[in-house]
Amino acid sequence: MLLSRTRLVLLAVMALALSGAAFADPVNMNFLGPGGNNGGGVYTYPYNFSINGGATTQLICDTYDNEIISGETWQANVNPLLSGSGLFGGSTTAYEQAAIIFSGIVNGTINASAGNFAIWGLFSSNPQSNPFFASSGASGLESWALAEISLMPSGFFNNFALYTPIPGTQSWGGTPQEFIGCVVPAPVPEPGTMALLGTGLFAIGGFLRKKKRA
């Protein structure tokens, strides 16, 4: 069901009101483990965290080429989505697409694994070599999100925050992954047709492998 623009605007205003309290710099990240979803043998959203020792928070990863393990800790800078301070710098359009796709995942209109692969594909070409990228319709999701950018109400992207790792603060391995979180869950219209997104959009499929190590 398509959601009204009025409701979207109201949620954006709510996000603006809360954004001052949501951004902290830096924060302590403790990766509790993945939520169990996977596609193409790779763990996908949700990723469970305790931030600054708080209750479990679910975030989505945008960094396919980096690795983390359960129990790993690090520090991260938290900034507005379009601050230009993320691992991918000024990739504004890609971050906007990622936020739109993530919003659809949160609201249940986009499959979590297909959506996560689509987000990974915005920032790296490597996910495209995984057969799940094509079979899930991830490419179609990216195209749909690009078309939706101009339709988003003012302030929509203020609903999202970037958790960017600080290199050298990790307890294991190399630089951890970057994550996106919701300040206020912000619904978007669901993708228009299955033809656009591919018939495999809602298939999770695949066996677990340890790229995103549990």
Domains of the chain: which residue ranges? 5-197
Over residues 36-56, the pLDDT tens digits come to 999 999 999 999 999 999 999
pLDDT computed for residue 205 by the predictor: 30
**Which residues are CB-contacts of 151 (< 8 A; sequence separation ≥ 6)?**
189
Lowest mean pLDDT among 108-112, 174-178, 189-193: 189-193
pLDDT computed for residue 90 by the predictor: 87
Where do we find the tokens 């990216």?
142
% pLDDT > 90, the chain: 72
What is the residue type of 88? F
pLDDT computed for residue 21 by the predictor: 37
Instruction: Give the count of alpha carbons within 13 A of 28, CB side only.
Output: 8
Contact 170, 73 (CB under 8 A): yes
Over residues 135-183, the pLDDT tens digits come to 999 999 999 999 999 999 989 999 999 999 999 999 999 999 999 999 7
Whether the pLDDT of residue 74 is over 60: the answer is yes
Residue 212 in tokens: 């995103």
Whether the pLDDT of residue 187 is over 70: the answer is no
pLDDT computed for residue 191 by the predictor: 55
pLDDT computed for residue 211 by the predictor: 41
pLDDT computed for residue 22 by the predictor: 52
199-214 average pLDDT score: 33
Q: Is residue 47 within a helix (H) or strand (E), and if so which, with residue range?
A: strand 47-51
83: pLDDT confidence band, cut at 50, 70 and 90? very high
Contact 77, 85 (CB under 8 A): yes
Whether the pLDDT of residue 72 is over 70: the answer is yes
Whether the pLDDT of residue 34 is over 70: the answer is yes
Quote the mean pLDDT of the chain: 82
